[in-house]
């Protein structure tokens, strides 16, 4: 008889302590060094054209980028997206990037806390509140794992790192390529509803690179979810990441599905049309991308790969420099669109290209 999903993984299993640690290190190394982005499909943010204002009647000094989010106020509408944890290398990355987020006053998310379920001592690879006391901190667990856990155990994961909200990530495409990945995705909608009702903190539905379409959004609306991190197609493909570390048979499937997903711009629009709050992630690479995402209705512009590569290449100083460029790009787009605040940018005139319309028009 094969073990049930609730049984602890056997030694040598991909989801035992060593298997998870090795996977986390592999993910960091692959994302730092390999080509892990979509090859053909784009975010379609390039098809969001903000109308130029030759007479904006604004000065850079009067822009107000402050943004409310999960009970705190950010200095600008950015998030350093959850990307890692569960290994010593991840601990360094999380602490360095959380300190950067604290310095500039933006949100920060940790990667999946699944490793803590196997070894609670790994909490120190996620614990960053001491270096980031004032910013929104987002915990993270997979919906498949959450479905098997009582709410009190999930709340304990959140409280262990003193987080302000919980990202519950949806990653069926990644799991289907991953060796030892999940194959049973039933119960996700009920899990979101339970957590919204019982957790006592904001619950953020988070995709992991494949985006969200109208059907998924309708399910999340029914579950009572209010915030969705769309993590759309066009940026890092976790199908591709897993394909790069998979056995030959899984590599073939990974290659076939490398381009799978709903582009980021379309995912933002689907989420906003349903009255939910989008967090824009998935292929955002600069301030212009952030501006276009916010113009579509995103509350935050969230990035992972650019921050990871910056901190790996040049430490916190490089991550700060990248953020400075992104912030300057956003401010530039706001001036040129005549928008003093992110809320005004969301109302700025824009034109959408034909490929994006194919994804959003009935």
What is the number of alpha carbons within 13 Å of residue 172 lying toward its C-beta?
11
What are the tens digits of pLDDT across the range 271-301?
999 999 999 999 999 999 999 999 999 999 9
- Residue 7's pLDDT is what? 45
- Residue 15's pLDDT is what? 56
Q: SS3 of 27, please?
A: helix
pLDDT in tens, the chain (362 residues): 233 344 444 444 555 567 777 888 989 999 999 999 999 999 999 999 999 999 999 999 999 999 999 999 999 999 999 889 999 999 999 999 999 999 999 999 999 999 999 999 999 999 999 999 999 999 999 999 999 999 999 999 999 999 999 999 999 999 999 988 999 999 999 999 999 999 999 999 999 999 999 999 999 999 999 999 999 999 999 999 999 999 999 999 999 999 999 999 999 999 999 999 999 999 999 999 999 999 999 999 999 999 999 999 999 999 999 999 999 999 999 999 999 999 999 999 999 999 999 999 97
Provide CB contacts within 8 A for 314, sequence distance 6+.
Answer: 321
Asked whether 301 and 293 are in contact (CB, 8 A), the reply is yes
Question: Alpha carbon of 54 to those of 51, 58, 336, 340: distances in Å?
Answer: 10, 11, 7, 15
Question: Alpha carbon of 315 to those of 82, 99, 312: distances in Å?
Answer: 18, 11, 6
DSSP 236: B
pTM of the complete model beyond 0.85: yes
Asked whether 114 and 20 are in contact (CB, 8 A), the reply is yes
Domains of the chain in start order, with CATH, are 69-360 (3.20.20.70)
- Residue 22's pLDDT is what? 81
Closest to 209 (Cα-Cα) out of 258, 248, 256, 244: 258
Backbone angles phi, psi at 173, to 5 degrees: -65, -45
DSSP E strand boundaries for the chain: 48-50, 67-69, 72-74, 78-80, 107-109, 137-142, 165-170, 203-207, 227-229, 277-280, 300-303, 350-352
- What is the DSSP pairing of strand 277-280 with strand 48-50? unpaired
What are the tens digits of pLDDT across the range 133-171?
999 999 999 999 999 999 999 999 999 999 999 999 999
- Residue 230's pLDDT is what? 98
């Amino acid at each position: 008889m094969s073990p049930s999903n609730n049984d602890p993984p056997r030694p040598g299993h991909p989801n035992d302590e060593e298997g998870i640690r090795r996977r986390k290190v592999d993910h960091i190394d692959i994302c730092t060094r390999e080509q892990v982005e979509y090859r053909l499909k784009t975010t379609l943010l390039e098809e969001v054209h903000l109308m130029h204002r030759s007479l904006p009647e604004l000065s850079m000094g009067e822009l107000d980028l402050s943004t409310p989010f999960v009970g705190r106020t950010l200095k600008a509408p950015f998030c350093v997206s959850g990307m890692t944890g569960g290994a010593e290398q991840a601990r360094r990355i999380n602490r360095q990037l959380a300190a950067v987020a604290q310095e500039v006053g933006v949100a920060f998310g940790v990667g999946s806390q699944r490793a803590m379920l196997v070894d609670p001592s790994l909490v120190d690879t996620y614990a960053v509140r001491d270096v980031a006391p004032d910013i929104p901190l987002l915990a993270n667990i997979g919906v498949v794992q959450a479905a098997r856990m009582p709410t009190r155990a999930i709340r304990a994961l959140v409280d262990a790192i003193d987080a302000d909200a919980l990202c519950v990530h949806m990653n069926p495409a990644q799991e289907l390529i991953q060796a030892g990945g999940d194959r049973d995705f039933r119960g996700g909608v009920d899990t979101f509803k339970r957590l919204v009702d019982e957790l006592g903190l904001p619950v953020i539905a988070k995709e992991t690179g494949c985006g969200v379409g109208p059907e998924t959004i309708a399910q999340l609306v029914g579950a009572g979810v209010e915030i969705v991190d769309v993590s759309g197609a066009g940026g890092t493909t976790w199908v591709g990441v897993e394909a790069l570390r998979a056995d030959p048979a899984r590599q073939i499937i990974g290659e076939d599905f490398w381009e799978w997903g709903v582009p980021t711009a379309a995912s933002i629009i689907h989420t906003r049309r349903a009255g939910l709050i989008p967090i824009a992630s998935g292929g955002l690479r600069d301030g212009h991308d952030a501006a276009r995402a916010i113009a579509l209705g995103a509350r935050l512009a969230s990035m992972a790969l650019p921050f990871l590569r910056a901190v790996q290449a040049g430490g916190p100083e490089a991550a700060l420099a990248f953020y400075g460029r992104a912030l300057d790009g956003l401010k530039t787009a706001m001036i040129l669109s005549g928008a003093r605040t992110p809320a005004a940018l969301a109302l700025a005139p824009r034109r959408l290209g034909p490929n994006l319309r194919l994804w959003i028009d009935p």
